Amino acid sequence: MYGDYHVTEDGFENQLAVNHLGHFYLTHLLLPALKKGGAIGEAARVVNVTSCAHYPGKIFFDDINMKEHYDTTAAYAQAKLAQLMSARYINKMMEEDGYPVKCYAVHPGIVDTDLFEHTMFKKAFPWLMKVFFKTPAKGAVSVLHACFDKDIEKKGGLYISNCIEGISNSFSKKLDYQEKLYDISCQLVGIDKVNFGKA
């Protein structure tokens, strides 16, 4: 985050590739096993670590790799929003097809990680991060909640923030946008959308 425009060897904007497309493709590869491993009342779970940074985000459908107008903060927000939207859409697909797989997107809180390494904030006020930001261990609690809490078993597609159901931006809730992102993501990673998550 907070870097210059960079593309992967595959030609994807780096933050989109790392925070969304990689997770999306990994989910595709794992779904056959997750479908077999889940059971009613004990669904297999897919947990994406997103961020409250998705709030100001939107998906730039016409320029998803942000080649025309790159802004590092907007790129990060887009990638984190894409994680949330994909979790919701894939969860919907699993429910409609009757598979015992639930998908969640988790904001772990503001955690003192390398994410802020190249920011002026960390250079100017490193002590503030120690005081106000969570340690990585404390940040992991919300992720573990999404993985194991029985109370959310029937609530797939949730956005979880600090171990409770969070409020996500309105863009993330629009089914037509979720489907459009799913279609574009399948195209970008080379998956026929009707074969997503199939062996």
- Whether the CB-CB separation of 138 and 109 falls below 8 Å is answered with yes
Half-sphere exposure (CA, 13 Å, Cβ side) for 165? Answer: 8
3-state secondary structure of 111: strand
d(CA 82, CA 107): 13
Q: Of 2, 55, 76, 89, which one is the catalytic site residue?
A: 76
Per-residue 3-state assignment (H helix, E strand, C coil) for 126-164: HHHHHHHCECHHHHHHHHHHHHHCHHHCCCCCCEEECCE
Minimal CA–CA distance to 105: which of 198, 24, 11, 191?
24
d(CA 116, CA 114): 5
Amino acid at 177: Y
76 is catalytic: yes
The residues annotated with a catalytic role in the active site are 76
